[in-house]
Amino acid sequence: MTTLSNRYQAEAAKQRPTMRDVAALAGVGIKTVSRVVNEEPGVSEAKTVRVLRAVEQLNYQLDMAAGSLRRTGRRTLSIGLLLPSVANPFSGEIHRAIEDALAARGLAMFAASLDDDPEREKALVAAFLRRRVDGLILTPIAKSQAHVIPEHSQDLPVVFIDREPNGIDADAVVSDNATGGARAAAHLLSHGHTRLAYLGDRTDIQTARERRRGFLEELARSGIAVSDVPAIENLHDEEAAHRATHELLASRNPPTAIFSSQNLVTFGAMRALKEAGASHKVALVGFDDFALADMMEPGITVIAQHPERIGKLAAERILARIDGDQSQPSTWVVPSELIVRGSGELPPSD
Amino acid sequence: MTTLSNRYQAEAAKQRPTMRDVAALAGVGIKTVSRVVNEEPGVSEAKTVRVLRAVEQLNYQLDMAAGSLRRTGRRTLSIGLLLPSVANPFSGEIHRAIEDALAARGLAMFAASLDDDPEREKALVAAFLRRRVDGLILTPIAKSQAHVIPEHSQDLPVVFIDREPNGIDADAVVSDNATGGARAAAHLLSHGHTRLAYLGDRTDIQTARERRRGFLEELARSGIAVSDVPAIENLHDEEAAHRATHELLASRNPPTAIFSSQNLVTFGAMRALKEAGASHKVALVGFDDFALADMMEPGITVIAQHPERIGKLAAERILARIDGDQSQPSTWVVPSELIVRGSGELPPSD
DNA sequence: CAGGCCGTTGACAACGTTGTCTAACCGTTA
DNA sequence: TAACGGTTAGACAACGTTGTCAACGGCCTG
């Protein structure tokens, strides 16, 4: 029975060849095949050639999973990446920068989207853990990352990106969100604005809170009564931001300058300003750069982040940890940068 | 010696727990643990509870790699995705759509960027094969995919996206590139243009050739002398397209309408038109939609592709193949759509 | 009360690889 | 010639899991 079904399989699907097959064809032991395939030294020229020829002939492909099961350290040469969404251009650039750094080491990347959902964060981390990734790079959203990282994985390298983690002591690579917010405030103030407004993302997102804090603190330092500054939050999509901007413009005492703390919010604000014919009247500074910002009318002044630097740094950190770096975890901050394009330099309209 | 080093390891790094550990703690056999963890039937309520408690207590995580090594069919529950670049928004949307469809089945995705480099295509396909992915979804760039897919992987589900493969008979999901190109031509012709130009991507990219073909064939059908239509190709980035557009506008007999066959090319053309003060004079239709196209002045008319539908279809195909669908491979075509926004409806300027 | 059946359970081998260890072989040297 | 060292080679166990199968106990049936 067993014999029959095995034979059937062998004939029907001609099983994928294993090292044993290669060894048989080359007339050597399987360990010799292993040595050749893994480019280990200590195999004679003659046998190396024979093995390689057999590999070629059978089209043999090493099974890394089987190998890493036995290998000391159990390296799978794969790492897990958890992003807000792979469809998000900012995430995409980080992803690419990480890939470039890790591919050079032969590491493959699992990628997944969290949608800023704490439940997904937990489920996807678990899924990657079950696949025994050598490291984890993630954008946290759950309130705490402590119960997400099982204690037994404490030796698993983890690097957080874009947002700092809570309840776990690990490396993080982030933008200088508060400083960037302050930079936006200072820029608008320097152009004479005194009636400003803040439009921001969900308050459970750490970066949104930081940007708001930096913005408002800078205003306070300059003597603006912060209680009078409209701060409309929890705008998670373009439509919400669009509505909020229209309401702001229609209010009794409309702002002469707006700081939008995230791309989709900036888009919503731009659209509302355009519809209201106020693109050239109300100043706008957005957090995070985007394609075609310079092609708008006026060009959109932004606090640009550097996703490629965030990704590169995160990759360097995870590689260092994988290589055994035991130093104290810490947070790396990638500076943001003001890019002047017109919308942020409009003077107060009255 | 061995005992010593084992004990050392056990104490220093407290090895990740295995089923054996869980079984010992719960006082059951390891097969019972396996059954509980994999939610197989045939385990009494009492033992199930004891096993789950032990799993909890040890923070046990199943090792999927070890499991798939033994499991019949060797499913790894992972699939490989090869895109032009994960940083490319079009690719990102496809990626996301695929992820959404596959995550529901517990499949994880390896993602990698090809950069339209045939060598990378080969290397990355091999890397995914070594990891024994259950399926491969890729955007081909090499001249032939035949030697990329080893014969022994013929039972490996493969779906091509965005471009059709050569030298291998497999499922593909693509946009109607030629029809889209023709649609652009017809649209511009219907607005009275007779002096049109084509700006296109590298000619080794199949979609670029198809878009060009569809565009020119439609012009020919309408009696335009195709030999007089400037077709500037091999524009792979924005800067090249920008230069090409300027040259076009400065030529003796400049076109009154431009068809740009790819996003970066469209951006370059837009920028050149703006600099030349011709945004409202020379009509422009781009292939592929992009964020903020409606916010430009004028809005940019495009032939929109549907990356989310391409991704969804590709995911459905790979799942069907994984589930054993043996039907003849074929190509699914996702229709493109003309989106009218202003730039494509400008009349001939003289 | 014997026999049979069913629901549970766990011992065991096997998946494809790599680490360990011993064997065989070669050429040197005493 | 015997002993030795260095190189090459392969037999074997083990990694953590799942498929197979036999054994157990309880219950029903005749």
Task: Tell me what pLDDT residue A349 has.
Answer: 82
Distance between CA atoms of B70 and B238, rounded to whole angstroms? 50
**In the prediction, which pLDDT does B155 show?**
83
Considering the segment(s) A2-62 as one domain, its CATH architecture is Orthogonal Bundle (1.10)
d(CA B103, CA A89): 21
The pLDDT value given to residue A11: 40
Nucleotides of chain D touched by protein CB (<7 A): 7-21
Q: A221 CA to chain B: closest CA distance, Å? A: 36
Q: Stated in angstroms, how far is B200 CA from C16 C1'? A: 49
Spell out the residues 6+ positions from residue B262 whose beta carbon is closer than 8 angstroms to its own. Answer: B200, B201, B208, B211, B235, B286, B287, B288
Residues A37-55 pLDDT 10s: 999 998 999 999 999 999 9
Tokens at A128, concatenated? 């990657």
In contact, B134 and B80? CB cutoff 8 Å: no
Q: If you count residue pairs, one on A and one on B, with CB atoms under 8 Å apart, how many are there? A: 153
Question: Do the Cβ atoms of B152 and A296 come within 8 Å?
Answer: no
A123 contacts chain B (CB < 8 A): no
Give A 72-101 residues with CB within 8 A of chain B. 76, 78, 85-89, 91-93, 95-96, 99
Find the residue closest to D20 using CA and C1' atoms.
Answer: A2
* CB-count burial class (<10 Å; 0-12, 13-18, 19+) for B344: buried
Residue A158's nearest CA partner among A167, B236, B203, A149 is A149
Parts of chain B belonging to CATH 1.10.260.40: 2-62
Q: How far apart are CA B221 and CA B212, in angstroms?
A: 14
Strands B301-304 and B283-287: parallel
CB-strand contact B295/C, under 7 Å: no
Minimum-distance residue to C16 (CA–C1'): A66
Mutate to test the interface with A, among B18, B86, B117 (most CBs of A within 10 A): B86
Which residues in chain A come in under a pLDDT of 70?
1-14, 148, 150-154
User: Which CATH code for domain A177-306+337-345?
Assistant: 3.40.50.2300
Contact list, A85 vs chain B (CB under 8 Å): 96
The third-level CATH classification (topology) of the domain covering B177-306 is Rossmann fold (3.40.50)
Neighbours of A294 (CB within 10 A): 15
Let me know: does B273 contact B245? Beta carbons within 8 Å: yes
Task: Describe the crossing of helices A177-190 and A206-221 by its angle, rounded to 10 degrees.
Answer: 40
Give residue-wise pLDDT tens across range A217-260: 999 999 999 999 999 999 999 999 999 999 999 999 999 999 99
pLDDT at A6: 37
Q: Is the CB of B38 within 7 Å of strand D? A: yes
B179 inside 8 A of chain A by CB: no
- The pLDDT profile of chain B, 350 residues, written as one tens digit per residue, is 333 333 333 344 467 899 999 999 999 999 999 999 999 998 999 999 999 999 999 999 999 999 999 988 889 999 999 999 999 999 999 999 999 999 999 999 999 999 999 999 999 999 999 999 999 999 999 889 887 676 656 689 999 999 999 989 899 999 999 999 999 999 999 999 999 999 999 999 999 999 999 999 999 999 999 999 999 999 999 999 999 999 999 999 999 999 999 999 999 999 999 999 999 999 999 999 999 999 999 999 999 999 999 999 999 999 999 998 989 999 999 999 999 999 999 999 87
Q: If you measure CA to CA, which chain B residue comes closest to A87?
A: B92
- What's domain B78-175+308-334's architecture? 3-Layer(aba) Sandwich (3.40)
The candidate with the shortest Cα–Cα distance to B17, out of B51, B52, B58, B46, is B58
